[in-house]
């Protein structure tokens, strides 16, 4: 097994900001579901990374917005990695788990583009995962004070693509 699907921080919390809608939220959920189905058919592991906050906020472990969104909820045998920083590898068992499975490549999807996705894409590359895919239509973010969500996504795809990850739409992603 050489490729795993890594779904980052797709928790109810990201969808709970009434005044700040998550960019293309329905499309991203639909595309992640497609990726999950493709990975499972190929026998590739589906790994969820779940952000945990030490603060009393929407990402605090156990609160009502902390679970992974129900439309893409993990199955009982899927792996869930809890993280306490923007880096899915930092202080987590992710690297050990990937090595145990013989994973060499990652297909990366989720939220938020400029935080946890960016950091994890760069870290994965520096750890030796060289043929990773960032799924263009399966990651998202919120508007910031400086840029709109589409601008943030375009900027990060420009910086990451061809360097740390290959960019592909969900329809073109294949698992091996």
* Statement: residue 1 has pLDDT above 70: no
Which stretches does DSSP call E strand in 30-146?
A: 46-51, 79-83, 105-111, 133-140
Residue with tokens 């950091």: 119
Q: Name the token pair of 160.
A: 């990451």
The more confidently predicted of residues 155 and 54 is 155
Per the CB < 8 A criterion, the answer to whether 106 and 130 are in contact is: no
**Does the predicted model carry a pTM greater than 0.85?**
yes
Q: What's the rounded mean pLDDT across residues 47-66?
A: 95
* Statement: residue 111 has pLDDT above 70: yes
Q: What would the pLDDT profile of 7-33 be if each residue is shown by its tens digit?
A: 999 999 999 998 888 999 999 999 999
Q: How far apart are CA 137 and CA 150, in angstroms?
A: 11
* Statement: residue 95 has pLDDT above 80: yes
Q: What would the pLDDT profile of 113-156 be if each residue is shown by its tens digit?
A: 999 999 999 999 999 999 999 999 999 999 999 999 999 999 99
CA Rg value for the chain: 15
Q: What's the rounded mean pLDDT across residues 38-46?
A: 97
Q: How far apart are CA 166 and CA 52, in angstroms?
A: 28
Q: Name the token pair of 64.
A: 């009502």
Band of residue 176 on the pLDDT scale cut at 50, 70, 90: confident
């Amino acid at each position: 097994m050489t490729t795993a699907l890594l779904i980052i921080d797709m928790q109810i919390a990201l969808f709970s900001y009434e005044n700040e809608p998550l960019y293309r939220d329905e499309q991203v959920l639909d595309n992640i579901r497609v990726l999950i189905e493709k990975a499972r058919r190929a026998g590739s592991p589906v790994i969820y990374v779940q952000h945990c906050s030490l603060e009393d906020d929407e990402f605090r472990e156990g609160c009502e917005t902390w679970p992974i969104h129900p439309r893409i909820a993990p199955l009982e045998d899927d792996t869930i990695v809890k993280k306490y920083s923007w880096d899915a590898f930092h202080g987590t068992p992710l690297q050990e788990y990937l090595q145990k499975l013989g994973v060499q490549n990652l297909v990366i999807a989720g939220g938020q583009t400029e935080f946890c996705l960016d950091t994890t894409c760069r870290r994965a590359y520096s750890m030796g995962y060289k043929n990773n895919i960032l799924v263009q239509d399966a990651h998202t973010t919120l508007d910031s004070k400086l840029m709109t969500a589409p601008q943030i996504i375009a900027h990060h795809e420009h910086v990451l693509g061809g360097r740390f990850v290959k960019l592909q739409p969900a329809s073109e992603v294949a698992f091996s």
